[in-house]
Each structure stands twice: as structure tokens, then as C-alpha cells.
Structure 1
């Protein structure tokens, strides 16, 4: 038996001011989240993007073609009720950041990691005030608790919409530093993604490209680009 899908029932999707935020109206009816909460967005830019996703639906509604709507739903239904827990989850990356765990050989990989990752750790120390130190090997070695606590406070100050996207920026790269770098425009988004994949690029050079792994990497890249776009729209003044 085929799965039932909701069908388009509206003619026009548009944005309306709603208190301090913005809502999306389908023929004058407010869009709600899967948990039936009001879909109130923090910026007109984000609301306009979501309205465009609804307007683009034809026939049956395809949630996978509505990434900004899905992330906004997650921000309201999942992140808002457990903001502290999500922030704490991400703060843990500061104590085991990808950029801090270095290979001890071969020399070329060691140098590539150093050339790509040291500048990002320097940026975090200068811009975020948190100096994280690199280690050789994969055995966990705790970072300075004060540096981790400072990063944790920065995460806790994010809005639910920022945190929903920030979660993906961090988890997809495995790096709290790179998540902040993308969030704060420290480098082009594509470059930050490439920095997170130094080890994968090395493996490809040694053993060739695995098609399945490449497909996964491409999907993650798209998700990373989306998270960056979402947070930019959420923080927009327009």
C-alpha cells in the first residue's frame, strides 16, 4: 500500500508580521510546526525563504524539498524545549575538537593538518578567546576547562534558530571551532568544509575514491551549506 502524502491545498504562500517575528500564511492561514506550534520566524528573510518553499510545492507536499521549513520546525519543536541540553551536547565538542587530534605520521599528512588547522585554532584563540591545544594521536586529553567553559557560554547565548543550524555546522565537521568559524564568517563556507575533510582527502589520495563514501560526503556538504544559509537568514536584519 502506498504511503499517504498531504496535497497542496493553498494558492498563495506569503509572509506576515507577527509580533516581533514573522509568520508564513497559506491563503491567510498560519503555517504550524508538526507539534502544532506557531511557526514564528526571527527574520523576514527566513520567513520569505520558507514561504518560497511552500509556494514551490506542486501536487503532494515533499518535505525533503523544504529544508528551511524542516530546520525551523526543529528549532521550535526540538531545540526550544531543550535548549540547555543541545547547547551542552555541542559544548562537549570543545573538549575533543577535530582540529586538536593530529596524526603522528606520515610527515605529509602531519604538515597538511598543521597548515590547515593551526590557523583555525589561532583564530579561535584571538576571536573567541579560547585557546585549544593540539595533541598527537587519538587518545582523549582534556582541554583547558576555562577555554571550554567560555565556548560553552557562547553556545548557550545562541537563539533556538541559531542553535538548530549551529548544531549541524558543528556535528557535520566534528569541530566546534569550525562551527564557530562558519557561523562568524571567518572563511568561505566551502573552505571551512574542505578544512574539516583533510583526513578524508588524504585517504582518497592513498586508496582511491570510494563511491559510497563520496555520496555520503556530498550529502553532508549540502547539509553544511544549508545550515550556513539558514543561520545567515535567521540573523538577517531584513
Structure 2
């Protein structure tokens, strides 16, 4: 038996509201799971949410509503735990994917360097940080100044931006890649592929695994949805 709720509205509208914009169903304001009025800071976010509600069929499928889920999370969770979430994401920089290189084979080492070094160089210039890069998997601490400076950047985001930033970091495994996305250093698709160099190498060597590919597809979708939501915050 399906657990999806039935569609209960006909019209979807956007209205001005305190703090920004509200999405209305048949003139009634949408609320979050915690019963907080779903009010967002930009018209672009409201447009994304309204499009998702308008696109629902006879049943409401939350899996097809990433912008609504992100706004719910921003209002119900991230606002209340902003500094904890910011600290969690900043900590990714301490073990950033781009700082952990293969020891061999030489072709993979070269691919990583060609794709990852320019991003580390950009972040060093952009934020005034230094990176400790190592070969292998043993943890190598980053300079405390690097973590402190990147923490300031992350805490400078709004709760709605931080919500999207969470998925950019967690899906890619890299604080640097997430920052490159938000600063539009390269197209999001290209940055996503850069985050998968190790995975793509393994596929070349051993072939594609259907289950692993399905997981990668879901992660990519979450990453691209986060790009779209972050852009709508601006």
C-alpha cells in the first residue's frame, strides 16, 4: 500500500511575506514538517518550490521535491544548529579529498595532480590558505590557520546557502570543490567529475558495477540539486 499523501490542492501561488516569499496552495501557506511557515528569502527559491508542488500528480512524492526538502531543512534544522553545521562542513577541509593522493600508478597520480592542483592553487589565492598534500590514506593535519580561515568563509553563508553547501561538500567529499562550485570556478558538471577521479579510475580498471553506478547517479543528482538551490539563494 502506498504511503504517499494524496494531492489536496488545485492552485499554487507565490506571495510576498515577512522575511521574503511564501508558497501558497489554494491560498494557504505551505508549512514545514515542524509547522514553521515555509518562507524563503528569494523569489528564485520560491519559484523552485512552487514548480515542484505544481508538478505533483495525484500523489505527493517528496523524492521529486528537492528544493522543498532543502527549504524545510534550512528552516527546521540548519537555522537552529547553524554553527554546528558550519563546523561540521569546515572539518571536511581537514581531510579534503583533494589533499589525499594515490601513491601509484603514475597515470592516476598524474590525473589527480592535473585536476586537483589547480583547485587547491585557486583556493590558496582566494582565501589565503595553505594546504598539506599527502600520498596515501594516513591523516595529515592541515595548518590551523587554514581551518580557521575556511571556517570564516563557511559561517559567512546564510542558513539557506549552508543547507545547499552541505550537500555540495558531502556529495563531493571536498570542501574545496564545494567552494569552487559556489564561486563558479568551473561548470558544476566538470567539478562533479573532478570529485570522481578515483572512482572513474576503478571503473576503467575493473568495469562498471550496476549498484555502484546507481549510487553515483543518486549522489550526482543530489549534488546538482544543491547547485540549483544555492544559485537560487543569491
TM-score range, shorter chain: over 0.9
TM, length-normalised to structure 2: 0.97
8 Å CA contact 2:90, 2:175 repeated in 1:
yes
SS in 2 for 1:35: coil
Count of equivalent residues: 234
Gaps of 5+ in 2: none
SS in 1 for 2:8: coil
Following TM superposition, by how much is the alpha carbon of 1:128 offset from its aligned partner in structure 2, in angstroms?
2.1
Q: Output aligned runs, 1:1-238, within 5 Å.
A: 2-235=1-234
Q: Structure 2 CA distance, aligned partners of 1:220 and 1:232?
A: 18
Please give the per-residue CA displacement for 1:162-182, whole angstroms capped at 9, x wherever unaligned: 001000000111100001011
TM, length-normalised to structure 1: 0.96
Following TM superposition, by how much is the alpha carbon of 1:129 offset from its aligned partner in structure 2, in angstroms?
2.0
Following TM superposition, by how much is the alpha carbon of 1:184 offset from its aligned partner in structure 2, in angstroms?
1.2
8 Å CA contact 2:132, 2:141 repeated in 1:
no
Q: Which deviates the most, 122-131 or 100-109?
A: 122-131
Please give the per-residue CA displacement for 1:57-82, whole angstroms capped at 9, x wherever unaligned: 12121111111101110111111110
Gaps of 5+ in 1: none
Q: CA RMSD in A?
A: 1.0
8 Å CA contact 2:132, 2:140 repeated in 1:
no
Q: Structure 2 CA distance, aligned partners of 1:166 and 1:225?
A: 11
Q: CA 1:196 to 1:3, structure 2 compared with 1: closer, same or farther past 3 Å?
A: same
